[in-house]
Amino acid sequence: MATLWNKGVKAEDAVEKFTVGQDRILDLRLAKYDVQGSRAHIRMLESIGLLQRDEFERLDEGLEAIASEIEAGRFSLAPDVEDIHSQVELLLTERLGEIGKKIHAGRSRNDQVLVDIKLFLREELRTLREELLGLFGALQELSEKHKDLLLPGYTHAQVAMPSSFGLWFGAYAEALVNDMYLLGGAYKVVNRNPLGSAAGYGNSFPLDREMTTRLLGFDSPDYNSIAAQLSRGKCERAVAGAIGSFALTLNKFASDCCMYMCPNFGFIRFPDNLTTGSSIMPHKKNPDVWEMVRGKCNRILSAENEINLLCSNMPHGYHRDYQLLKDILFPVLETAHECIGITRMMLSHIEVNDKILDSPIYDYLFTVEEVNRRVLAGTPFRDAYRQVGTEVNEGRFKFGKGGTLKASDLHHSHIGSLGNLCNDRIKNLMDDAANW
């Protein structure tokens, strides 16, 4: 296998297979970012005199050609090439001759792969931001559409107090605001430039790290060269934590949907083609999509802990353990995109039940409303509580218009209540959270 670090002694095949693992496959995800980093690096090398102008131009043209091949899907790692960095350098050397070997001056595979990963994660985070904004918008739209339709609220899995579909959908929209803040925090951790830190101790070339920072659009360099290498694992952990936050939101929403689709509740339904049946029970309409969202989000949640365990107990500097970060995080990112996408698709087909309160199961949903009505009329709270409790125990409790009640009939007016969802204010919060 062609390796940049080969010193003439061949590694045993078993060792090579074990240490390379899935890296060749996963590295293809980094191909375009490796070219981006290399183009910034050679421009900087030319500016400090380590490349002649004509050499830089030929190398840049060569890298642009490779970038086009990547974009067109015509790029791959040769069978005897270890990783993406080796493939790009070997292609340049094959096509341009000896100047292809100059591209690596002033850097190590350590800072090279780190800048690739940071560029990759930065783009992934931007994509997730747009996907979450789309999901947020869908939830807010449903919240406004169904804001007056009452929905039973539960605590301890027992009928509790009136909620509404507007409040339910709106709650998950606002939960995404906090998730977006965490996503933005991960972006700030990621968006710093490690290029030039080499193997963790810099080097004797007069590298212009501010220049590569500008060219690659990073907020700042990782200044201390050792700190740059210490960011390996922390960036992945920050991203996994942020993804885990919205995975928890989706997980809980999926659990709600599984419960609400159950005929014992019957609060929501989906078209038959979005549910599955049973091989033996012809009446079944199973919430398989939501169960898979719930399960996949649980797997996403495990990634942060897996990264924590992988990155602990190592002194500073690069260790081959870090290679396994890609095995953990790359599939998790794919799963996150899938879960957001399928959730939004399902929401576009959701049907809500506007006859829920016709059931006598919810006769006692409004006991707190009646207690509060009596308090407002002058009865001390504890007395009103006992009066309503006695009526419930004796089967005499009645409230309002029963199944014809709407959220607006309950006169909830405080911020964030049934009658004052504050969706416009929540939208402003999301605009702020996504401003990175």
Cross-strand bridge partners of residue 268: 352
- Rounded-to-integer distance, Cα 324 and Cα 319, Å: 10
Check: CB of residue 386 under 8 Å from CB of residue 378: no
- Rounded-to-integer distance, Cα 172 and Cα 272, Å: 25
DSSP codes, 145-196: HTTTSEEEEEETTEEEEEEEHHHHHHHHHHHHHHHHHHHHHHHHHH-EE-TT
Eight-state DSSP code of residue 2: B
Question: Residue 187 is encoded by which pair of tokens?
Answer: 């972006």
Eight-state DSSP code of residue 21: T
Between β-strands 220-221 and 192-193, what pairing exists: parallel, antiparallel or unpaired? parallel
| Catalytic residue status for 349 | no
In order of 2, 9, 24, 76, 90, the CA distances from 81 in angstroms are: 5, 16, 8, 10, 9
- Sorted by sequence, the CB contacts under 8 Å of residue 415 that are 6+ apart come out as 422
Amino acid at the residue 310: L
- Rounded-to-integer distance, Cα 354 and Cα 268, Å: 9
Q: Which of 156, 204, 279, 414 is catalytic?
A: 156
| Catalytic residue status for 278 | yes
Q: Which of 76, 278, 359, 408 is catalytic?
A: 278
Burial 139-150 (b: 16+ CB within 10 A, else e): bbebbeebbbbb
- Rounded-to-integer distance, Cα 24 and Cα 86, Å: 11
Active site residues: 156, 278
